[in-house]
């Protein structure tokens, strides 16, 4: 027997197989994430502080982020902080709709 709470995610998953519906979803959905460069930079600094306690250094690092969502501000902040490379992997290209130039200017 299927539990009731599992039905909506299952239906949502099945609808991705209908090409027009999936195309609409990709164009209109957002993660509801934070697009504030200041917030993303603060998150990065908190992570770097914890990592530094373990001996990690950002200089020349290669950073990967799973599911950056609507904003790659944290990734851009990583590069500005000294990382050599950043790769953000997400199922849907959310950042393609973001004003990356404006975000970058605010980070700098």
- Compute the radius of gyration of the chain from its Cα atoms: 17
Strands (E), 1-108: 62-66, 85-89
* Tokens at 8, concatenated: 């909506």
Looking at residue 4, its pLDDT comes to: 85
pTM as predicted = 0.65
Per residue of the chain (108 residues), what is the pLDDT tens digit?
778 888 888 887 787 788 887 777 766 665 555 667 888 888 899 999 999 999 999 999 999 998 887 778 888 999 999 999 999 888 776 666 667 788 888 888
Q: Name the one residue in this structure whose structure tokens are 């020349």.
A: 60
Cβ–Cβ < 8 Å for 69, 31: yes
Looking at residue 47, its pLDDT comes to: 92
C-alpha 7 chain-centroid distance: 27
Q: Which of 75, 72, 67, 74 is nearest to 92 (CA)?
A: 67
């Amino acid at each position: 027997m299927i539990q009731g709470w599992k039905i909506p995610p299952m239906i949502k998953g099945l609808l991705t197989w209908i090409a027009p519906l999936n195309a609409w979803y990709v164009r209109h959905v957002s993660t509801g994430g934070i697009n504030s460069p200041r917030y993303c930079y603060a998150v990065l600094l908190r992570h770097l502080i914890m990592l530094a306690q373990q001996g990690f250094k950002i200089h020349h690092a290669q950073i990967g982020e799973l599911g950056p969502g609507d904003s790659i501000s944290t990734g851009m902040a990583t590069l500005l902080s000294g990382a050599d490379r950043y790769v953000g992997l997400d199922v849907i290209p959310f950042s393609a709709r973001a004003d990356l130039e404006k975000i970058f200017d605010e980070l700098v």
